[in-house]
Structure formats: structure tokens, C-alpha cells
């Protein structure tokens, strides 16, 4: 026989699994059938107006909370959405790259002063200088006398003037590559001819362009000169007592002599002679003269008689060793900039007829370079003595 024989009631639960069978076994994988007709759920009004909820929302069910009532038909495991207030969004902090980029944009717009800002932001000591001050020597060599001397010596020359009663030797500072040189008026005063020797030993003839005896300044110009190394003129208004300085000149004809010291005082009143006849006897290290340079300060005369016609100027005082022949030479700051023209020195010599006892005792004076710069236009035009 082809049909199978089944026992009565063997597949009743399979054919109608939701029919109540009190004696049928219950499959634990199937949920129990509802004991009542499910009531259609009413739409929840709050869900229509529910705002967008951040992921911090918490889903809760009454079933999970233990609720099993059959009150309004919304029970029995219906999910309820409970939104916790989302925390305010925090402003995203800008990273250092974005901040530096902003600084760079501002730097391009406003220029100087940004290096310090970048240093503060990065915490690094790398500072790119934006100042107009020139550093003649590398920043790592600032204050190094050897480096300063090597950089500036080519710009300092020896000046020899032939006088009616002998010769006068002093120094000068090259300020243009074409051969303009600043020196002291008393070095070339009354000169019949002037010869200049550069640091490499070359000799040139020079002529006087202009003089200013009231400031003890003179401008001379080399003939047939080009390609010379001009000195960098600094800012004497920024000089402070205690600053390191270097002096370069030709004391007693010793070309390129270098000494060093500090700035001892500012704004010293130095009085010098303006008489041309007196100037012929004031040359430093001269032959046939008295070999001393007279000047006054503090109400006293030094190194001879200044005569009846004098002028007074403000000077930088230094303890860098100066000797006869340094007049007109360079006083240099720690970065290699010219901050003064050496003009006078105190000597312990008591006999003005001999220069053998004249020597530096740590009291030297220089005309501030800002005074020189302010006088340049007048000197190029012939000076106040013309």
C-alpha cells in the first residue's frame, strides 16, 4: 500500500501550531501564542515631532524593565525612545599647523615682529630676524674680537698728511666703495698732500672733500679707487654703557692695530681746537710736531694747550686702548657695525714736547656715528669750514 499509516493526533500541532492544546508539548524556540486578539497599535504622536537624536539616545523597553501589563495595548515589549539631551558640541581646537598658517598669513601682511610670535607659538629658539640692523659678523660670532677684526679691518685705512712742519699720521674709515673716507679734521688740517694706505698695502692719493672743525670731522676721497670694502655704519643711539667695543687704527704708524674694551660712558663733553695752525701741531704720531692731541673734558686740559678757538661735542667714552695715530679710526660694536670715530685719548705724558711717554690709560673718546651720518651731506658739499 502506498499511503502511509499515521496515528490519530500525531501531526495536529504541526498543522495548527496556534491551536490551544493543553496536552501538547511546547516548543521552547517558539514564542507563546497570544491569549487574545492583538489590538492594532495607535501611532505615537511624540514620535512625529521627535527631534533628531544624537547617538547618545537610550533605547528602553518595558519588557526589559520588567513590565508585562496589558493595559492600553502599548505594553508587552513595545520599544520606547528616550532621548537624553545631547551635550553641546565642543569647538574643535585648531592644531598648531593651522595656527602657524594663520600667523604666516598675518606675517606676510604686516611684516616685522612676527618672528617673535612664531617663536612663542612653537617654543623654539629659532628666530628669524626682521630688524633693519645689519650684522657684519655671523650671529654665532657676535662679540668675537677676531671675527670683528677680520670683517672690519679692510674698511679701516692709514692716513698720512704732509704738513708744512712735518707729517701727521692718523686713521680713516671707508664709507663707499669708490673711496670716500671719514677721518678727524685735526688729522688732515693744514695738509699739503694726503696719502692713504689700505689694509692690503695699496697706496692712494687723496684730496679733501669737506671739513667740519666744529665736530672735528673731515671727508676725503681717494683718486682712481674702486671696489673698496665700505664699512657698515651702525646706530650710536642704541649704545649702552658696558657694551663690548673694538677699536681699529694705525697708532704710531702701526697699520691695522686692533684693541678691545667696553663703552665706559656716554655723552662726554669733549672740547677740541678749531685753529688750523694749532691743528698742524696736533697730528697723532707726527714727525716734527709735538706729537700730542690737546683736548679738554671735565673742565681740564689734556695733552697740550687747546688754544683760544675751540669747539665741544658729545663723545662716547671707551677703555679700548687708543694711542697717537688712532684718531679717525673705527670704534666698532659687537656685531661689526661702526658706532664711532675715535678722536681723542688721555695720555699720562706731562711733557708735551715728547710723544714717547704718551700712551693709553683707558680713557678714549669717539665721535658718535650718528653725528657723522648727520654731517655727511654737509661734508660732501664742502663742509662748514668752506
* Catalytic residue positions, numbered: 186, 216, 327
Strand partners, 240: none
Distance of CA 37 to the CA centre of its chain: 89
Is residue 154 a contact partner of residue 199, using CB atoms and an 8 Å limit? Answer: yes
Cα–Cα dist 65/61, whole Å: 6
Cα–Cα dist 342/366, whole Å: 4
Cα–Cα dist 355/358, whole Å: 5
Cα–Cα dist 138/135, whole Å: 7
Integer angstrom CA distances of residue 275 from 34, 186, 281, 350: 131, 9, 10, 23
Q: Specify the residue for cell string 598669513.
A: 105
Cα–Cα dist 255/247, whole Å: 12
Q: Specify the residue for cell string 501611532.
A: 43
**Strands annotated E in 95-243:** 156-163, 166-174, 180-183, 193-197, 203-212, 217-222
Cell of 192: 699739503
Cell of 57: 539616545
**Total residue count of the chain as it appears in this document:** 386
Strand partners, 167: 162, 287
* Ramachandran angles phi, psi of 305, nearest 5°: -85, 125
Amino acid at each position: 500500500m502506498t499511503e502511509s499509516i499515521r496515528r490519530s493526533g500525531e501531526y495536529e500541532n504541526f498543522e495548527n501550531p496556534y491551536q490551544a492544546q493543553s496536552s501538547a508539548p511546547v516548543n521552547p524556540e517558539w514564542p507563546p501564542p497570544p491569549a487574545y486578539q492583538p489590538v492594532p497599535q495607535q501611532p505615537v504622536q511624540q514620535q512625529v515631532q521627535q527631534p533628531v537624536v544624537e547617538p547618545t539616545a537610550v533605547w528602553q523597553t518595558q519588557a526589559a524593565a520588567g513590565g508585562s501589563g496589558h493595559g492600553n495595548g502599548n505594553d508587552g515589549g513595545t520599544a520606547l525612545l528616550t532621548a537624553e539631551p545631547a551635550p553641546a558640541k565642543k569647538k574643535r581646537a585648531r592644531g598648531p599647523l593651522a595656527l602657524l598658517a594663520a600667523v604666516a598669513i598675518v606675517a606676510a601682511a604686516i611684516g616685522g615682529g612676527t618672528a617673535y610670535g612664531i617663536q612663542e607659538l612653537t617654543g623654539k629658539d629659532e628666530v628669524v630676524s626682521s630688524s633693519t640692523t645689519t650684522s657684519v659678523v655671523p650671529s654665532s660670532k657676535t662679540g668675537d674680537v677676531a671675527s670683528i677684526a677680520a670683517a672690519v679691518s679692510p674698511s679701516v685705512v692709514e692716513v698720512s698728511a704732509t704738513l708744512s712742519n712735518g707729517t701727521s699720521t692718523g686713521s680713516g674709515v671707508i664709507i663707499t666703495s669708490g673711496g670716500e673716507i671719514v677721518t678727524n679734521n685735526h688729522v688732515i688740517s693744514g695738509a699739503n698732500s694726503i696719502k692713504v694706505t689700505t689694509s692690503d698695502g695699496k697706496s692712494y692719493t687723496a684730496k679733501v672733500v669737506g671739513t667740519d672743525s666744529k665736530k672735528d670731522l673731515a671727508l676725503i676721497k681717494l683718486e682712481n679707487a674702486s671696489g673698496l670694502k665700505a664699512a657698515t655704519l651702525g646706530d650710536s643711539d642704541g649704545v649702552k654703557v658696558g657694551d663690548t667695543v673694538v677699536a681699529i687704527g694705525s697708532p704710531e704708524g702701526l697699520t691695522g692695530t686692533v684693541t678691545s674694551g667696553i663703552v665706559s660712558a656716554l655723552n662726554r663733553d669733549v672740547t677740541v681746537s678749531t685753529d688750523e695752525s694749532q691743528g698742524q701741531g696736533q697730528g697723532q704720531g707726527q714727525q716734527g710736531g709735538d706729537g700730542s692731541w690737546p683736548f679738554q673734558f671735565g673742565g681740564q686740559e689734556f695733552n697740550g694747550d687747546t688754544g683760544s678757538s675751540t669747539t665741544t661735542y658729545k663723545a662716547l667714552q671707551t677703555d679700548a686702548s687708543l694711542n697717537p695715530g688712532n684718531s679717525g679710526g673705527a670704534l666698532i660694536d659687537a656685531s661689526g657695525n661702526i658706532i664711532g670715530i675715535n678722536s681723542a685719548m688721555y695720555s699720562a705724558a706731562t711733557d708735551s714736547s715728547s710723544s714717547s711717554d704718551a700712551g693709553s690709560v683707558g680713557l678714549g673718546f669717539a665721535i658718535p656715528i650718528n653725528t657723522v651720518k648727520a654731517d655727511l651731506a654737509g661734508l660732501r658739499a664742502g663742509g662748514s669750514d668752506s
